[in-house]
Amino acid sequence: MTALNWNSRQLTHGWQRGVTAFFHGLGMSEADFDKPQVGIGVPLLEGNLCNQHAYALGSKVAEGCRAAGLLGFPFGTPAVSDNLTQGLEGGGASLVSRNLIANSAECVVSAHCYDAMVGLHHCDKNGPGFAMALARMNYPGLILSGGSIQPGCHQGRSVTILDVYDSQAAASVGAIPQAEADEIRRVACPGPGGCGIAASFNTWGLAMEAIGLMPPQSSSIPAIDPAKQADCLNAGQLIRGMLERNIRARDILTRQAFDNAAATIAAAGGSTNAVLHLLALAREAQVDFTLKDLQLILKRTPVLCSFAPRGTKTMVDLHNVGGTSVLLKHLIRAGLIDGSCLTVTGRSISENVANAPLAPARAPTLRWSGEGPGVRGSSANDATSITNSESLFAPVDAPFKPFADMQVCFGNLAPDGIVFKVSSLSEPRFRGPAICFQSGRDVSEAVEQRRIRPGHVIVLRYQGPVAAGMPEVVLAASALSVPELNGKVALISDTRVSGISHGAIGVHCAPEAAVGGPIALVHDGDEISFDLMPGTITLHVPDEELNRRRQQWQPPTIKHARGYLADFAATVAQANHGCVSRAFHSHLD
């Protein structure tokens, strides 16, 4: 049997006995030197609601480790708020922070010879970074969710951060009074916790439970619920069990586990950011899992949940009907995920959810009536809306939609792939003339100036990982949700959008413009089309003309003003590889 302190013993009982003087200074006894040591990754950023309570939860995890006969040591990592940095210089720091968290956690945990790691998932890039570190090191460990924020209340109805962005966009074109939009802004985020809809934070939580790296129910327990404290306290016993069974991260992160995670985010109507993170995690876990594999899963997986932004429900609603175990049980019964996969409990997913209640699924009151997705809220496409405000779940034989909102396309505009999330088109295809931009703010201003018209394909480029750190452009995406454009335009970009975005959006276009991807060759007025079901995207320009443009194209001079961004850009792989480090994964192009 492998010693529980398999790694820390080289420090506590190693040849350099003098180093243990520091441990005595921490109050440890000689007997403590035989206890396993656990690094607890805490993304510290008390100026962000998502992370406001991270230090307190990290302390609870340490307390639970002590109760389980382990020594838990919290350590801090960088954290960047996607919301607070939107549209500003800091937007380029968001994805960078994921890789920094992965490197920081790997650095601290491996350098200090810890035997296991717990990573706290509070904001969009926290959990992915810690998961990447676990997979890279292949240590025992798990990810815990910091929990969702509660919805706010405006005029008797629940509101979230999604309503803030949508109402501000509506006010900018005179659709609602600015005073009303500002009132929603003041009440939508009433306390600590990650964004409560199926945005990037919660999509990753669902993915981690489905993949087996997060304890049951952790993703759905709200931040302020007393059960979140118990969730953190229980982590110590789970880690001890993993050490006793010698369960390592890669024992859990199998190819089938990745299929489970992909199917779960598809069925939940989740965020495109999870695609990027799953690809990165697969690279770190040395699992062969690509955009082509995701494409097949997304095509065959129906949407069974009405989380916002495609519907109206939040993670608090999921918690109130029994939590994420209810969702996973629903997916297992539907044959969409494999319940035999191993999890951090030492049991299978099926065993974890055996006692969960059945999902209270009801067929949508407005059925999907064509090939296209439905629409959240009111629009010209309400006749085809599949949003059901009465139920969080749909039965598998009457889904909200028979295929995922997210789809992957390949073609001459995106040879290495582009990820679409479409929630406001009456058909899963689109064709129109391009109108090109190089910043999200320019897109927002063009909407206000009525320069973007129905039928346009908005091309937002030179915002990819090398060019700009791949910031989220939620403000631009929200601007396109105004009534006269919602469902009547498409956005294509080499950057990312937030999980709170909705509309017809294609992102992560690879290769990006800055490295000479075809998206750099698009001119205003060029026809662009995509068709989600065959998974194709086409720039309708003759090859001869594209070759001529390529010969004339000059790579931009990129000089990053920040060191962290320069380091990231110098080593980052393209989006189809999850934007991992080419310096570490040297085989990637």
Residues annotated catalytic, as ranges:
498
158 and 152 Cβ atoms separated by less than 8 Å: yes
* Phi, psi at 303, each rounded to 5°: -85, 120
The C-alpha R_g of the chain, in whole angstroms, comes to: 23
Token readout for 508 is 């992560």
Amino acid at 25: G
309 and 198 Cβ atoms separated by less than 8 Å: yes
Instruction: Report d(CA 56, CA 533) in Å as an integer.
Output: 46
The single-letter DSSP state of residue 342 is B
Burial of 290 (0-12, 13-18, 19+ CB in 10 A): middle
411 and 536 Cβ atoms separated by less than 8 Å: yes
Angle at 495 between CA 489 and CA 497, to 5 degrees: 65
The HSE-up count of residue 131 (CA atoms within 13 Å, CB side) is: 33
Task: Give every CB contact of residue 541 below 8 A, 6+ residues apart in sequence.
Answer: 521, 526, 527, 549
Residue 78's alpha-carbon distances to 10, 44, 256, 351, 453, in angstroms, are: 28, 7, 31, 36, 41
Task: Give every CB contact of residue 552 below 8 A, 6+ residues apart in sequence.
Answer: none
The length of the chain, given as a count of residues:
589
Token readout for 49 is 């609601």
Between strands 37-43 and 116-121, the pairing is parallel
Specify whether the backbone of 516 is left (phi greater than 0), alpha (psi in -120 to 50) or beta.
left
Quote the distance between the C-alpha of residue 133 and its chain's center: 16
Amino acid at 237: Q
Amino acid at 535: G
Instruction: Report d(CA 454, CA 17) in Å as an integer.
Output: 72
160 and 153 Cβ atoms separated by less than 8 Å: no
Burial of 245 (0-12, 13-18, 19+ CB in 10 A): middle
Cα-Cα end-to-end distance for the chain: 41
Token readout for 271 is 């965020």
Closest by CA position to 276, among listed 443, 449, 101, 99: 99
* Phi, psi at 529, each rounded to 5°: -135, 155
Closest by CA position to 253, among listed 94, 170, 136: 136
